[in-house]
Every structure is written in structure tokens, then in C-alpha cells.
């Protein structure tokens, strides 16, 4: 690989939720032992995981369109992100969904902590990710959401027609992409090793990591909405066989616009 560019670590995305541990204790509602354990685990993850918003049953009260229109300035915590993703996923075409496996949005952040690494790898192994064409890995690091996509990981690393590769879709790509690369490649290598897949470390580390040019967010809090839209559009548009010779396919500068994101979020928030 070419020489890496210097990255200014002072550039940190500002989409960060409250970090006060008391934030988790604010509710007086009784919870189960299992739920309490989950909350304790969340404290060990990135700050925005503290901003978990549980899904509620949709209100039967009629509201005006003006009040029901979502605002992109509202950030998404991991809980609300997963709720919206479940809603989105259930409405995607079944034949398209069958090409994909998706990982929980917290797993990558937990993997970055040595004490959780083996556990995360065991969860990933149960997902059988090498049996599908694509693997969606929502990532939240430094309070910022991005989307990692593994393509054709079930194919031979030496394949010319279905070359394994990775895509990183990031609405703040100039500040985030390079900082994630080392962890992404280590994650990929550990998955191969845990699965007993063939290929040496040098070959695995040469799997292309592609960063397509995607529209960039306009403030520090839209990234979760952008990732949901990336998932929606990629699942609907991805070819059955992703060949890097045809990259970036539909992922060009004009693959969607601000108005399309607004409409998408209106529909998604109304359904959740």
C-alpha cells in the first residue's frame, strides 16, 4: 500500500451524546437483571452509546405533517439506530436482503477493546458472514457513525471476478476514514483467523479498502441518518457480483441528494 497521509487527531467529529454515568440512572422504571447487565456494558463503549432511545409503540393519535417531520439535526444513539434499522430492514425486498448479513452496531466498538475482542469474534462467527455476498457493519467511533461493507468475503482472496474488498461509506470521510483503517484491517484479519479461512496475513491485509465519494453531512449530528440511508440505497442497488473493475458502480457524486435524504427520513421516522 502507498504511504499513509498524516491525520490530524485534533479533528474529532462532534456528534457526541451525554457522557455523565448518571444519565443511565435517570429512569426509575424497574428493569430486569439482563437489561441491567446490558446497561453496564454500554458504559464501556463509545460516548454516543449512552444516548440510547428505546423504541415506543407508534402513537394512534393523529398528528400534523409539520409535527411528524423528523429533523436531521437530532442525533441517533445506538438504541434508536437499531430500532430504525429493524424497521428499515423489514421493508427492504426479501431477495435483496438475502444477499446480506448485518452486524450489531456496537460490535465493532466492543472489538476495539481487548477485553471484549474474543467475545465479539465468537458472535461474528455465529453470523456465518462468509455465506453471503455482503456484510453490513455499522460503526460508531469517536461519537461518529459510518458504514463498513465487506464484499465477497466468501470468495477466494485470489479471485479476479469476485474480488473480496471492503467499502467504507463515511459522511465525514476526511476526518475519519484513515483513522479507522488499522482497526478495520485487524478486525478483518481476526475474523479470517477465527473462521480458519485460508490466506496469510500479508494477503489478507492487501484486500482493497475503498472509500467512495459520498455526500457529506452538513452538521455534526446527521451521521446516523446518513448511515441508514446508505444501507437502504446500497441494499437496493448493489449488484449480485461486486467487481472492483466496475467500481464505484452507482456510488457516484450524485447517487443521492439532500432532498432524497429528507424524504427518506420522513418515511422512516413515521414508520418507527
Q: Which residue has the higher pLDDT, 262 or 191?
A: 191
Is pLDDT of 254 > 80?
A: no
Residue among 82, 99, 78, 108 nearest 188 (CA): 108
Residue-level pLDDT at 32: 55
Residue-level pLDDT at 143: 86
Q: Residue 73: pLDDT band by 50, 70, 90 thresholds?
A: very low
Across the chain, what does the average pLDDT equal? Answer: 75
In angstroms, rounded to a whole number, what is the distance separating the alpha carbons of residues 67 and 46? Answer: 31
C-alpha cell at 108: 465493532
Q: Tell me the C-alpha to C-alpha distance, in Å, between residue 98 and each of 7, 91, 105, 124, 177.
A: 38, 13, 19, 17, 28
Q: Tell me the C-alpha to C-alpha distance, in Å, between residue 49 and each of 2, 41, 85.
A: 34, 10, 16
Outline where DSSP puts E strands in the chain. 100-102, 134-141, 144-151, 165-169, 209-210
Residue-level pLDDT at 139: 95
pLDDT in tens, 205-252: 899 999 888 877 877 778 898 899 999 999 998 888 888 888 888 887
Q: Residue 190: pLDDT band by 50, 70, 90 thresholds?
A: very high
Residue range 83-99: average pLDDT? 93
**pTM over the 0.85 mark:** no
Residue-level pLDDT at 102: 96
Residue range 40-51: average pLDDT? 38
Residue among 194, 195, 207 nearest 157 (CA): 207
Q: Which residue has the higher pLDDT, 124 or 66?
A: 124
Residue among 223, 222, 198, 212 nearest 246 (CA): 212
* Contact between residue 176 and residue 144 where contact means Cβ atoms under 8 Å apart: yes
In angstroms, rounded to a whole number, what is the distance separating the alpha carbons of residues 122 and 125? Answer: 5
Residue range 245-272: average pLDDT? 80
Q: Residue 74: pLDDT band by 50, 70, 90 thresholds?
A: low
* Contact between residue 183 and residue 142 where contact means Cβ atoms under 8 Å apart: no
Give me the CATH code for the 78-270 domain, please.
Answer: 3.40.395.10
Give the percent of the chain with pLDDT over 70: 71
Is pLDDT of 172 > 60?
A: yes
pLDDT in tens, 102-135: 999 999 999 999 999 999 999 999 999 999 999 9
Residue-level pLDDT at 10: 32
In angstroms, rounded to a whole number, what is the distance separating the alpha carbons of residues 130 and 203? Answer: 17
In angstroms, rounded to a whole number, what is the distance separating the alpha carbons of residues 272 and 188? Answer: 33
Per this entry, what is the length of the chain? 272
Domain definitions of the chain by residue range: 78-270
150-154, 189-193, 196-200: least confidently modelled range:
196-200
In angstroms, rounded to a whole number, what is the distance separating the alpha carbons of residues 206 and 181? Answer: 12
Strand 165-169 to strand 209-210: parallel, antiparallel, or no bridges (unpaired)? parallel
Amino acid at each position: 500500500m502507498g504511504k499513509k497521509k498524516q491525520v490530524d487527531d485534533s479533528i474529532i467529529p462532534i456528534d457526541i451524546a451525554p457522557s455523565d454515568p448518571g444519565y443511565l440512572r435517570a429512569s426509575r422504571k424497574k428493569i430486569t437483571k439482563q437489561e441491567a447487565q446490558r446497561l453496564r456494558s454500554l458504559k464501556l463503549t463509545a460516548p454516543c452509546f449512552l444516548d440510547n432511545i428505546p423504541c415506543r409503540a407508534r402513537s394512534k393519535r393523529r398528528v400534523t405533517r409539520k409535527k411528524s417531520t423528523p429533523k436531521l439535526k437530532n442525533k441517533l444513539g445506538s438504541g434508536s439506530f437499531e430500532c430504525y434499522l429493524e424497521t428499515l430492514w423489514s421493508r427492504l425486498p426479501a431477495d435483496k436482503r438475502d444477499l446480506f448479513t448485518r452486524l450489531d452496531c456496537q460490535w465493532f466498538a466492543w472489538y476495539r477493546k481487548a477485553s471484549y475482542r474474543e467475545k465479539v469474534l465468537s458472535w461474528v462467527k455465529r453470523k456465518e458472514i462468509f455465506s453471503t455476498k455482503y456484510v453490513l457493519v455499522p460503526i460508531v467511533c469517536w461519537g461518529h457513525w459510518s458504514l463498513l461493507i465487506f464484499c465477497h468475503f466468501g470468495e477466494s482472496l485470489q479471485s479476479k471476478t469476485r474480488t473480496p474488498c471492503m467499502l467504507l461509506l463515511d459522511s465525514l470521510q476526511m476526518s475519519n476514514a484513515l483513522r479507522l483503517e488499522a482497526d478495520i484491517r485487524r478486525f478483518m484479519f481476526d475474523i479470517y483467523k477465527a473462521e480458519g479461512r485460508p490466506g496469510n496475513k500479508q494477503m489478507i491485509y492487501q484486500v482493497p479498502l475503498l472509500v467512495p465519494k459520498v455526500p457529506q453531512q452538513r452538521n455534526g449530528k446527521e451521521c446516523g441518518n446518513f448511515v441508514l440511508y446508505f444501507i437502504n440505497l446500497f441494499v437496493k442497488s448493489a449488484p449480485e457480483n461486486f467487481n472492483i473493475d466496475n467500481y464505484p458502480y452507482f456510488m457516484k457524486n450524485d447517487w443521492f441528494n439532500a432532498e432524497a435524504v429528507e424524504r427518506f427520513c420522513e418515511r422512516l421516522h413515521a414508520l418507527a
